[in-house]
């Protein structure tokens, strides 16, 4: 193929540039490709991002068509091009690096150029023959990067949040399943890593499920903040170049197309630079990460051993644990989830700094906010699915080991407080520790309780719930 056939020449403010002849993108996208080699993560890696901007562009063209700004032919071709992107087509034409300057202009123009060139093909014209459909004048009509980009980010996050919640729901179900499986497995509860009072492994695993259930509610509360959009505000929120009525109608069209309850911001000037919703949602991801990491810490502690640790549970063996110590199997799945959680917590800090860095009428740091949030969502979803499938569902309990620790624990003396008093119970505990004897034997020896009442009070099952004092 000749050099001329491999490329077409397009021009912009900075001059002419060669673009691959078969590419749907154009000159401004090519400049973005040339300029940014930072994250090496392409927009094409994130289908929800592309689908989201296609929905935004579709809502915009439908709005402009209704308001008489774009004619039937061009509006129809642009609409078809957008729907093809929504269906998963042409995504390889989004090669832009996720990290970029320009407040997301390269992303917006990438979409404008792909949609324009595909629309040209639909109308029977050549790529780059923009007199019939121009990226800026038609695909970006009544819009700016400064309202398209944040609206796109919001829709992409809303879509990705659904996938995260689906994964989290699966993990919660797995913990509930184990909670039921282990409901009769008595073990020792611990506070500050010291023996406390008895419980069941079922109670422990159900508590994990309930703890994570709260995070679904928190994510849903915070994702609602992302439904306020600034479409129609154009450059700084004043609506310059958008026809009257564009903002509210575009929000209504986007809602109809996506099934999400989008609302046009009451003050578009305020909404354009505001990144508070990202901060809130990132904080919700961080809260989930903190809780999930704690649970993984617990799993690693309970599985410690097998001879010299707690050895209460067994995690599914996934890999030889050492290059030097034969027979060692490490808790690799909880460990990797811990690390993902640390990454999410760090990304939250990035989002906070980037949100704070906004100046005057625009926050140009939205690309790093976007990359951080996308990474957190994808990593967290993948980690949760891995934890569910490769770890939690395969956990078993060492029932006899757990019961033996309860029987030998000093902590069960707490159950005697209502009958012999805290001070006497303290003396019993001290003596049992010093003499390496059982609480049971010392109480009988001192005649503090009858054997019948003592058996009932120290029955592990009677220590699992609140109860009336025995007389």
Residues annotated catalytic, as ranges: 322
Q: Looking up tokens 């760090």, which residue turns up?
A: 346
Instruction: With residue 182 as reference, give the H or E element that holds it.
Output: none
Do the Cβ atoms of 160 and 374 come closer than 8 Å?
yes
Listed residue (177, 389, 405, 171) closest to 295, CA to CA: 171
Query: Strands 15-20 and 7-12: what pairing?
Result: antiparallel
Distance CA 226, CA 223 (A): 5
Distance CA 459, CA 372 (A): 52
Strands (E), 256-338: 263-264, 313-314
Distance CA 144, CA 280 (A): 25
Distance CA 365, CA 359 (A): 10
φ/ψ of residue 416, rounded to 5: -90, -10
HSE at residue 74, side-chain half, CA atoms within 13 A, is 21
Buried-state track 66-89, b at ≥16 Cβ within 10 A, e below 16: ebebbeeebbbbbbbbbebbbeee
Do the Cβ atoms of 212 and 289 come closer than 8 Å?
no
Do the Cβ atoms of 262 and 178 come closer than 8 Å?
no
3-class secondary-structure state, position 106: helix
């Amino acid at each position: 193929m000749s050099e001329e056939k491999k490329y077409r020449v397009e021009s912009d403010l900075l001059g002419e540039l060669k673009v691959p002849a078969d590419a749907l993108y154009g000159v401004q996208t090519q400049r973005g490709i040339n300029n940014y080699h930072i994250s090496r993560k392409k927009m094409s890696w994130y289908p929800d991002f592309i689908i989201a901007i296609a929905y935004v562009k579709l809502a915009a063209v439908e709005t402009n068509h209704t308001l008489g700004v774009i004619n039937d032919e061009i509006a129809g071709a642009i609409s078809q091009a957008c729907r093809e992107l929504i269906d998963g087509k042409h995504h390889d034409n989004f090669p832009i690096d996720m990290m970029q300057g320009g407040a997301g202009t390269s992303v917006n123009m990438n979409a404008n150029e792909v949609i324009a060139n595909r629309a040209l093909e639909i109308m029977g014209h050549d790529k780059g023959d923009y007199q019939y459909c121009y990226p800026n004048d038609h695909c970006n009509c009544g819009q700016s990067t400064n309202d398209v980009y944040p609206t796109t980010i919001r829709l992409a996050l809303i879509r990705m949040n659904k996938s995260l919640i689906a994964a989290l729901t699966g993990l919660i179900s797995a913990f509930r399943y184990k909670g039921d499986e282990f409901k009769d497995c008595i073990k020792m509860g611990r506070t500050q890593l010291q023996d406390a009072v008895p419980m069941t492994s079922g109670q422990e695993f159900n508590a994990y499920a309930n703890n994570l259930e709260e995070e679904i509610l928190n994510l849903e509360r915070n994702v609602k903040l992302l439904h306020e959009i600034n479409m129609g505000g154009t450059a700084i929120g004043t609506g310059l170049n958008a026809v009257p009525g564009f903002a509210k109608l575009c929000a209504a069209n986007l809602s109809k197309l996506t099934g999400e309850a989008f609302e046009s911001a009451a003050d578009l000037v305020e909404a354009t630079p505001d990144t508070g919703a990202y901060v809130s949602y990132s904080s919700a991801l961080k809260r989930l990460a903190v809780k999930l990491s704690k649970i993984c810490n617990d799993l690693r502690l309970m599985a410690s051993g097998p001879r010299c640790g707690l050895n209460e549970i067994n995690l599914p063996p996934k890999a030889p644990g050492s290059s030097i110590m034969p027979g060692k199997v490490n808790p690799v799945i909880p460990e990797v989830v811990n690390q993902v959680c640390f990454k999410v917590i760090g990304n939250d800090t990035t989002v906070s700094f980037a949100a704070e860095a906004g100046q005057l009428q625009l926050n140009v740091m939205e690309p790093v906010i976007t990359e951080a949030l996308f990474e957190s969502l994808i990593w967290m979803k993948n980690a949760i699915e891995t934890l569910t499938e490769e770890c939690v569902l395969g956990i078993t309990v060492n029932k006899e080991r757990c019961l033996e620790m309860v029987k030998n624990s000093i902590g069960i003396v707490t159950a005697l407080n209502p009958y012999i008093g805290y001070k006497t119970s303290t003396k019993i505990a001290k003596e049992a520790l010093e003499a390496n004897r059982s609480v049971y034997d010392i109480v009988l020896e001192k005649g503090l309780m009858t054997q019948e009442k003592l058996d009932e009070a120290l029955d592990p099952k009677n220590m699992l719930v609140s109860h009336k004092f025995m007389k």
